Structure 1
């Protein structure tokens, strides 16, 4: 019996050694596989995070878009424009007076504009047209004028700004023109003189508060 077992011993020993050698290899292989799988998952997660960040950045509006949006929202004030123009129409025929800024004294051009914006929109404008045109308000193309925008003129394209009025729509504006032309009146931007004298326009109502917290009307 012992002699029959002797030939089996080398074979058993060989199988045992083979098993002992194979088990660490399998363990090492499994460990490497786990590390590769973990690294791959981390790489995918990092790529997803980067993609989400890029998408979030692309969804954020640019500074220019924010400024344009602010401009659009800040000018949603038709009641103010309407009230300014309504009172302006009641003043048609008020005499022109250089330096004037009230109904009692009469108006010059900047005095008339300043009076309406102060009374109806609660906006205190500078006294002179030179200061008005320098206000930090959005510049408006003539083709994009809206009622309530300020329009500025010089003398047929010569010299600095010398006159201002308020756009009322349909290429017309209201202003205190001159003593010879009857003071406060409505004129057309298409008239030869005003067409040649037009300089620029500004949306000064954008400076007002969004709510109608205008100064109490007198």
Structure 2
């Protein structure tokens, strides 16, 4: 099974997990960042770095691209959207003048899995209103392992 297929399988196992701000526990509760953290833990073991507490409006309040900066540290440069594959991380921004603040996992060219605030972890269609909000595409590293996270 490829790494992308593993990521999709793990993400699918989170479907139905209730939405919980700052949560990162399958079946108990998570937000979009918690979903990515949970997938990382299952792939590589412990978390890649400590995650400080954050308020629901963290991106608007700080105005900083904290989510994009973390993705660059952990996954390297973003990929072109045209190269996105199942298992890739999609980062979204609600408006062009706002920092990215939502994440999901691409599971097919037209579907992704994410923790949706009004519901739970769900599979959604990647319709034009979602697609135009994609700020970056990142990929879990093929070279990462539980012992070596220097990807």
Band the TM-score falls in, shorter-chain normalisation: 0.7 to 0.9
Report the counterpart of residue 149 of structure 1 in structure 2: 88
Report the counterpart of residue 198 of structure 1 in structure 2: 134
TM-score (normalizing by structure 1): 0.53
Report the counterpart of residue 120 of structure 1 in structure 2: 43
Of 29, 44, 50, the residue aligned with 1:106 is 29
Structure 1 counterpart SS, 2:112: strand
- Aligned pair count reads 132
Separation (CA, whole Å) in 1 of partners of 2:68 and 2:28:
22
Structure 2 counterpart SS, 1:147: coil
Which of the pair has more CA radius of gyration?
1
The answer to whether the Cα contact below 8 Å between 1:142 and 1:200 also exists between their aligned partners in 2 is: yes
Q: CA 1:117–1:206 in 2, change beyond 3 Å: closer, same or farther?
A: same
Of 153, 162, 184, the residue aligned with 2:121 is 184
Higher helix share: 1
Separation (CA, whole Å) in 2 of partners of 1:197 and 1:169:
17
Q: CA deviation at 1:79?
A: 2.9
Separation (CA, whole Å) in 2 of partners of 1:176 and 1:125:
20
Q: CA 1:116–1:131 in 2, change beyond 3 Å: closer, same or farther?
A: same
Q: CA 1:173–1:129 in 2, change beyond 3 Å: closer, same or farther?
A: same
Alignment of 1:74-85 (within 5 A): 78-85=1-8
Alignment of 1:34-45 (within 5 A): none
Q: CA 1:161–1:172 in 2, change beyond 3 Å: closer, same or farther?
A: same
- Cα displacement string for residues 132-180 of structure 1 (whole angstroms, at most 9, x for unaligned residues): 33325132111110122111011132311101111112232111121x1
Unaligned runs of 5+ in 2: 52-65
Report the counterpart of residue 55 of structure 2 in structure 1: none
TM-score (normalizing by structure 2): 0.73
Unaligned runs of 5+ in 1: 1-77
Report the counterpart of residue 72 of structure 2 in structure 1: 134
